[in-house]
């Protein structure tokens, strides 16, 4: 696979009269046809892919989204929904005559209900703004991901985002109580309920979460809130191996009273990139092959220090730093948050968002690293991520001095090498980033014929004309 920064060679054949009909639904000021002005909507943040569209539509309400989909259904027009354009699998960029529908004007926080521990919001709300609104009500929103300053909740739900706190709160699906969804023909399914229990047949909500906009467009949601922690214990520690990190995870779960909310594994090479290129600060004096950043919320006073003492005695850690204030806590987390961005300074990176059972992570990391070294001996493995829930970002940085595009031309081969080790251990080749266009080609290899038949049946039922995000999740037939 060649990762291309230029638009795919597809022609835009949409008639101007049809474009004008779509523009009329949102108003001229909220439709973008100028190519330069469209760029932020059509360029993926790593500049790996670029899109093309006759028009970017920016509706301000569910009614306008419904009108757009009714016209699209009548005219067989393909629609690509987009939230914050932070996706990593090329699921949000239109091509050719596909119309881009952006939710970036649908940003109302409809209600924050502290008594029900819920909030009702529109699909275009930026995640960080929702976190702030929850905080203002003395509550916490469980979802936290690296792109939270620009990603939007509709996209988070459509991709079933994971992030840093899955260990405590679960993925996006587990944090959603109700949805409002515009279907492919413009009909609106509205179920904005704050119920914790609703046992009345098929759960349609879960059908749309994780569907990546292929079954409907999420325009609003009811999200769970949680009591805001009174204090955090945040620790960055040096560990000799992933095996030691796994034992540390289990030890600290017990010592904290099962109050861990995050447990992140980081390699020396990744931390080194973060320090070198983004001025991240490593508080530990001695180098280590691996590091763990973990955080507990409202653990018993002294419990974390006692657990660290036991970990040191057992050889699970060689050093540790416990944040003494909020400034230090943010500095520790900054190290982790810099890992993804810092890799780009070293050239091409072939990324794998994978998961295996937590107990099999050390074995997977060792086996996949060996397989990569055999496939391309000079490639550099940068494996990091959410060890607490089994999700690793097994990224592979290009060999020093190799041409970037030459390296990225090995994308498919590298995928096959890594995915083979994932599947041997009953894992998933997409833990939290979704399938998009990038991994749609892999679906026939990781899903059984029956699974694909059922998925296509659902798609055909809800989108019989195939106009919603075509070619994403399921490969085109």
Q: Which of 417, 410, 406 is nearest to 372 (CA)?
A: 417
Supply the pLDDT for residue 449.
95
Pair (251, 333) in one structural domain = yes
Tell me the pLDDT band of 5, cut-offs 50, 70 and 90.
very low
Domain final residue, candidates 340, 370, 391: 340
Tell me the pLDDT band of 300, cut-offs 50, 70 and 90.
very high
Q: Tell me the mean pLDDT in the region 385-395.
A: 96
* Token digits of residue 353: 């968002």
Tell me the pLDDT band of 11, cut-offs 50, 70 and 90.
low
Supply the pLDDT for residue 477.
74
In-domain check, residue 9 = no
In-domain check, residue 5 = no
Pair (72, 121) in one structural domain = no
Pair (323, 398) in one structural domain = no
Q: Tell me the mean pLDDT in the region 408-436.
A: 95
Pair (246, 213) in one structural domain = no
Answer whether residue 288 shows pLDDT above 50: yes
Supply the pLDDT for residue 473.
96
Answer whether residue 390 shows pLDDT above 60: yes
Supply the pLDDT for residue 364.
98
Q: What is the CATH number of the domain that holds 150?
A: 3.30.465.10
In-domain check, residue 463 = no
Domain final residue, candidates 102, 126, 154: 102
Pair (127, 36) in one structural domain = no
Model confidence pTM above 0.85: yes
Distance CA 457, CA 99 (A): 24
In total, how many domains does the chain have?
A: 4
Pair (314, 256) in one structural domain = yes
Pair (245, 190) in one structural domain = no
Q: Tell me the mean pLDDT in the region 226-230.
A: 95
Of residues 4 and 281, the one with the higher pLDDT is 281
- Which residues span the domain enclosing 151? 109-227
Supply the pLDDT for residue 1.
34
Q: Tell me the mean pLDDT in the region 139-166.
A: 94
Mean pLDDT of the chain, nearest integer:
95
Pair (219, 236) in one structural domain = no
Q: 3-class secondary structure for the chain?
A: CCCCCCCCCCCCCCCHHHHHHHHHHHCHHHEECCHHHHHHHHECCCCCCECCCCCEECCCCHHHHHHHHHHHHHHCCCEEEECCCCCCCCCCCCCCCCEEEECCCCCCEEEEECCCCEEEEECCCEHHHHHHHHHHCCEECCCECCCCCCCEHHHHHHCCCCECCHHHHCCHHHHEEEEEEECCCCCEEEECCCCCCCCCCCCHHHHHCCCCCCCCEEEEEEEECEECCCCEEEEEEEECCHHHHHHHHHHHHHHCCCCEEEEEEEEHHHHHHHHHHHCCCCCCCCCCCEEEEEEEECCCCCHHHHHHHHHHHCCCCCEEEECCCHHHHHHHHHHHHCHHHHHHHHCCEECCEEECCHHHHHHHHHHHHHHHHHHCCCCEEEEEEEHHHCEEEEEEECCCCCCHHHHHCCHHHHHHHHHHHHHHCCCECCCCCCCCCCCHHHHHHHCCHHHHHHHHHHHHHHCCCCCECCCCCCCCC
Answer whether residue 7 shows pLDDT above 90: no
Q: What is the CATH number of the domain that holds 355?
A: 3.30.70.2740
Tell me the pLDDT band of 12, cut-offs 50, 70 and 90.
low
In-domain check, residue 359 = yes
Tell me the pLDDT band of 253, cut-offs 50, 70 and 90.
very high
pLDDT in tens, 333-366: 999 999 999 999 999 999 999 999 999 999 999 9
In-domain check, residue 328 = yes
Residue 212: which residues within 8 A CB-CB, separation 6 or more?
A: 91, 158, 159, 434, 435, 436, 469, 472, 473
Pair (201, 264) in one structural domain = no
Tell me the pLDDT band of 146, cut-offs 50, 70 and 90.
confident
pLDDT in tens, 171-193: 999 999 999 999 999 999 999 99
In-domain check, residue 55 = yes
Instruction: From residue 66, give the alpha-carbon distance in Å to each of 54, 165, 180, 350.
Output: 20, 34, 11, 38
In-domain check, residue 443 = no
Q: What is the CATH number of the domain that holds 31?
A: 3.30.43.10
Pair (77, 137) in one structural domain = no
Pair (131, 212) in one structural domain = yes
Supply the pLDDT for residue 4.
39
Q: What is the CATH number of the domain that holds 242?
A: 3.30.70.2190
Pair (266, 204) in one structural domain = no
Contact 354, 89 (CB under 8 A): no
Which range has the worst mean pLDDT, 8-17, 129-138, 377-386, 403-412?
A: 8-17
Answer whether residue 55 shows pLDDT above 70: yes
Distance CA 32, CA 58 (A): 8
In-domain check, residue 58 = yes
Supply the pLDDT for residue 105.
98
Domain final residue, candidates 71, 102, 133: 102
Rg (C-alpha) for the chain, rounded Å, is 23
């Amino acid at each position: 696979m060649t990762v291309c920064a230029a638009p795919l060679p597809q022609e835009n054949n949409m008639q101007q009269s049809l474009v004008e009909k779509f523009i009329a639904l949102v108003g001229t000021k909220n439709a973008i046809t100028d190519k330069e002005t469209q760029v932020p909507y059509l360029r993926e943040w790593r500049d790996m892919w670029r899109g093309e569209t006759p028009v970017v539509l920016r509706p301000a309400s569910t009614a306008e989204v419904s009108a757009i989909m009714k016209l699209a259904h009548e005219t067989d027009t393909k629609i690509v929904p987009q939230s914050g354009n932070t996706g990593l699998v090329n699921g949000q960029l239109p091509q050719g005559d596909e119309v881009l529908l952006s939710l970036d004007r649908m940003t109302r926080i409809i209600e924050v209900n502290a008594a029900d521990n819920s909030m009702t919001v529109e699909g275009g709300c930026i995640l960080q703004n929702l976190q702030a609104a929850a905080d203002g009500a003395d509550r916490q929103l469980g979802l936290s991901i690296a792109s939270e300053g620009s990603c939007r909740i509709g996209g988070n739900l459509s991709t079933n985002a994971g992030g840093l706190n899955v260990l405590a709160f679960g993925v996006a699906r587990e944090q959603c109580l109700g949805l409002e969804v515009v279907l492919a023909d413009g009909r609106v399914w509205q179920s904005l309920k704050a119920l914790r229990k609703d046992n009345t047949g098929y759960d349609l909500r879960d059908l749309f979460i994780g569907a990546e906009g292929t079954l409907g467009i999420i325009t609003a949601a009811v999200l769970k809130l949680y009591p805001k922690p009174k204090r955090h214990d945040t620790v960055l520690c040096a560990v000799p191996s992933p095996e030691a990190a796994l034992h540390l995870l289990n030890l600290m779960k017990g010592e904290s009273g099962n109050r861990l909310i995050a447990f992140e594994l980081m390699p020396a090479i990744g931390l080194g990139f973060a320090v070198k290129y983004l001025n991240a600060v490593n508080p530990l004096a001695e180098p280590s092959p691996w590091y763990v950043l973990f955080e507990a919320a409202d653990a018993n006073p002294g419990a974390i220090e006692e657990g660290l003492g036991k970990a040191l005695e057992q050889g699970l850690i060689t050093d540790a730093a416990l944040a003494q204030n909020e400034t230090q806590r943010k500095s520790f987390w900054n190290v982790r948050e810099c890992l993804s961005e810092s890799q780009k300074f070293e050239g091409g990176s072939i990324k794998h968002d994978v998961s295996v059972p937590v107990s099999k992570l050390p074995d997977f990391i060792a086996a996949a690293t060996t397989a990569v070294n055999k496939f391309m001996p000079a490639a550099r493995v940068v494996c990091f991520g959410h060890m607490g829930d089994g999700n690793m970002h097994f990224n592979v940085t290009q060999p020093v001095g190799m041409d970037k595009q030459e390296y990225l031309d090995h994308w498919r081969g590298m995928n096959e090498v890594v995915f083979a080790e994932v599947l041997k251990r009953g894992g998933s080749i997409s833990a939290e980033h979704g399938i998009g266009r990038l991994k749609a080609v892999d679906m026939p290899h990781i899903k059984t014929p029956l699974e694909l038949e059922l998925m296509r049946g659902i798609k055909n039922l809800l989108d019989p004309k195939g106009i919603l995000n075509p070619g994403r999740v399921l490969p085109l037939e």
